[in-house]
Amino acid sequence: MATILVTGGAGYIGSHTVVELVKAGYEPIIFDNFSNSKPAVLARLHKITGKNIPFYSGDIRVREQLEKVFDENKIDAVIHFAGLKAVGESVKKPLEYYDNNVNGSRTLLMVMRDKGCKNFIFSSSATVYGEPDSVPLTENSPVKRANCPYGQTKIDVEYMAEELQKACPDFSVTLLRYFNPVGAHESGLIGEDPRGIPNNLMPYLTQVAVGRLPYLNIFGNDYPTPDGTCIRDYIHVVDLALGHVAALNKLMNVPGVHIYNLGTGIGYSVLDMVNAFSKAIGHELPHKFAPRRAGDVVQCYADPKKAFEDLGWKALKTLEDMTADSYNWQKNNPQGYED
Ligand code: NAD
Ligand code: UFG
């Protein structure tokens, strides 16, 4: 079976994808520098899969560290998760974000080209669509200049990979634009473990639920939506992981640039999420209304039809699965991965 290099494989989405790759019969190799993850995830992956997943400690910006992996293994495809992802931090540290995300991806693509590995799957984001003119978003919706350095790095890497594919037509470049990943593996052994105070809604909700934080601030209740709060397309991380397996199954060695939205197609408001979460924990989750957060788009949800038609993939898990699994992970690991 094919060997898949998973950069950022110790992270939130990467670790869940590693599990689904093993289940599907692929042989993943993890490459990570633990800048936003912990080594403890490796033992958890062993527990879930029963396999020792090969691991390389390294940084995608360091060519020799990447070359070593390609020299020691025949890599059939790369799924590229490694990157920095905090919108607010990217505004304060733009050069660090361009260095890690853009230079790191460029180094990875150079090594792939030079070592003859032609299958590249990239973690892009719905952020490339900016403030949508209309929803749902299709893959043909316009890509706009991003409103933060993080978003711009996603656009830049998309373009860079597309240009490489033009220059090397036998490359298979797959750009997966994720909507809002939430949830955790049903075992409760792996999940999202942000450092410091979470920026994103679901980890904030789970940390309030276990008493690590006192209440949720809902950023804005005067948006032009039915309940005044912003709307997003939350997708269970295991469904998202399976989207990568579907992409590998269908697109490995299929030259071209392949672009897919990975979302459910359903938009939920922040209040919908708070209510669903309150149901999962059996009491109302403490929350307050706060001013709008700068840079938030009003609503963002996918038209996921193309992924279903081409890849046979669609998200199957419900909002109840997402809240229950997120809560289960946090309950079992109130302080996240402890090293
Ligand atoms: P994460 O931070 O949990 O995982 C990223 C992993 O990459 C971490 O384990 C980190 O240690 C590693 N890493 C970072 N820089 C590295 C480097 N230079 N060299 C080697 N390893 C490095 O994030 P995630 O939520 O799993 O996201 C994975 C990818 O998906 C990222 O590229 C992110 O931008 C993208 N994405 C995430 C979301 C989201 O909401 N979680 C949405 C859209 C796109
Ligand atoms: N929210 C709150 N309170 C919080 C956290 C979030 O009310 O404490 C609200 C936000 O205002 C937003 C919604 O919950 O309306 C979702 O916010 P997230 O931060 O969870 O997600 P975003 O849609 O803002 O951001 C996500 C990814 C980014 C990516 C962006 C666009 O985290 O990486 O989608 O694709 F850039």
- Tens digits of per-residue pLDDT, 79-117? 999 999 999 999 999 999 999 999 999 999 999 999 999
Res. 36 pLDDT band, cuts 50 70 90: very high
Q: What ligand is nearest to the CA atom of residue 86?
A: 2
Q: Which residues contact 283 (CB under 8 A, 6 or more apart)?
A: none
Of 80, 73, 39, 75, residue with least CA distance to 57: 39
Cα 271 to ligand 2 centre (Å)? 13
What local confidence, expressed as pLDDT, does residue 83 receive?
Answer: 98
Please name every residue paired with 290 in a beta bridge, in sequence order, or none if there are none. Answer: 219
Res. 147 pLDDT band, cuts 50 70 90: confident
**20 near 238, Cβ under 8 Å?**
yes
191 is written with which tokens?
A: 């999940």
Residue appearing with tokens 């990943």 = 181
**277 near 205, Cβ under 8 Å?**
yes
Cα 204 to ligand 2 centre (Å)? 10
What local confidence, expressed as pLDDT, does residue 1 receive?
Answer: 87
Q: Which residues contact 145 (CB under 8 A, 6 or more apart)?
A: 130, 152, 155
Cα 106 to ligand 1 centre (Å)? 16
What local confidence, expressed as pLDDT, does residue 338 receive?
Answer: 85
Residue range 165-179: average pLDDT?
Answer: 98
Q: What is the dihedral of CA 122, 336, 54, 30, to 10 degrees?
A: 10
Distance CA 158, CA 144 (A): 13
User: CA distances (Å), 77 to each of 62, 195, 245, in order?
Assistant: 19, 30, 12
**15 near 47, Cβ under 8 Å?**
no
- Answer yes or no: is pLDDT of 20 > 80: yes
27 backbone dihedrals φ, ψ, rounded to 5°: -110, 95
Residue appearing with tokens 């005044």 = 228
Residues in the chain: 339
Furthest CA-CA distance within the chain: 57
Q: What ligand is nearest to the CA atom of residue 60?
A: 1
| Angle (nearest 5°) at CA 159 between 157 and 163 | 115
Distance CA 10, CA 13 (A): 8
Q: Is 235 helix (H, G, I), strand (E, B) or coil?
A: strand
Res. 231 pLDDT band, cuts 50 70 90: very high
Gyration radius of the chain over CA positions: 19
Q: Is 301 one of the annotated active-site residues of the chain?
A: no
Residue range 176-188: average pLDDT?
Answer: 98
Distance CA 86, CA 153 (A): 12
Q: What ligand is nearest to the CA atom of residue 262?
A: 1
The pick from 123, 217, 222, 296 for probing ligand 2's pocket by mutation, whose C-beta has the most ligand atoms within 8 angstroms, reads 296
CB distance 32 to ligand 1 below 6 Å? yes
Distance CA 319, CA 295 (A): 25
pLDDT per residue over 90-100, tens digit each? 999 999 999 99
What local confidence, expressed as pLDDT, does residue 145 receive?
Answer: 86
161 is written with which tokens?
A: 């990979």
| Angle (nearest 5°) at CA 213 between 194 and 203 | 35
Average model confidence (pLDDT) for the chain?
A: 97
Cα 277 to ligand 2 centre (Å)? 16
- Answer yes or no: is pLDDT of 339 > 80: no
Residue closest by Cα to atom 8 of ligand 1: 11
CB distance 123 to ligand 1 below 6 Å? yes
Please name every residue paired with 175 in a beta bridge, in sequence order, or none if there are none. Answer: 122, 259
Q: What is the dihedral of CA 331, 332, 336, 339, to 10 degrees?
A: 150
**76 near 4, Cβ under 8 Å?**
yes
Pick the catalytic residue from 26, 97, 150, 234: 150
Residue 5: in which H helix or E strand, if any? strand 3-7
Instruction: Give, to the nearest 10 degrees, the angle between helix 149-167 and helix 104-115.
Output: 20
**59 near 33, Cβ under 8 Å?**
yes
